[in-house]
Chain A
């Protein structure tokens, strides 16, 4: 089955700097890659996703890239702000309804003031 590896496990960046989180996946059949942000005591919140027919997607300060050949995908947050501090999870799934999402192990992002 699918396996998603995520690194780093913790990341501390200065406010205003960029943060990058990287993931790899194992199943070439996966074609949907969501990213979730989880704040303390809350459920995972979908912040951006990318499908295998595109290589990059951007939404304001957040961008994701996908390299299907290498089975790599990454999350980039620019101009980080204190409210970006949270645990971020990458995930992979096959494009269909009722498909399970396989999560990475998470990255705890801390923004230093």
Chain B
């Protein structure tokens, strides 16, 4: 059973469109992360989120990206105007009991056409 669930499992969108990817924690956690994995490549950090604020973000996480936890439960990643190069698997992760472990969800495959 995944530590977090993610929806949708697969999203196809046209270039320039906005997409929202969702992460739903199974239990109550405070720290969340988004990572992406372009097909066949390594997993790359995008952003960390704690107590409704961004803790850290990478160079990939530019102004086209945003994160929020609008209802105190779901954790969302929004891409405002998708580009072809945004096509990737996007993984949400949450922290473990010791604080430094991270457990990943099953991912959302984003395909931008």
Contacts and interface: CB of A to CB of B under 8 A. Distances in A.
A43 B2 contact: yes
B33 interface: yes
Interface in B54-113: 55-56, 58, 91, 95-96, 99-107
Interface stretch (A14-22, A66-74, A76-84, A92-100): A92-100
Categorize the interface residue count of chain B: 20 to 34
Given A42-B107, A46-B101, A98 B55 contact: yes
Contacts of B41: 105
A46 B104 CA distance: 8
A93 B100 contact: yes
Given A42-B106, A97-B95, A98-B48, A103 B42 contact: yes
A97 B43 CA distance: 19
Interface residues of A, number: 24
A100 B48 contact: yes
A44 B91 contact: yes
Given A34-B101, A34-B102, A43-B105, A97 B31 contact: yes
Contacts of A103: 42-44
A42 B106 CA distance: 5
Nearest to A91: B43
A44 B55 CA distance: 22
Contact of A105 (B42, B58, B101, B107): B42
Interface in A82-113: 89, 93, 95-106
A105 B42 CA distance: 5
10 contacts: A36-B104, A46-B96, A89-B43, A93-B100, A95-B100, A98-B48, A100-B33, A101-B33, A101-B43, A105-B41
Interface of A: 32, 34, 36, 42-46, 49, 51, 89, 93, 95-106
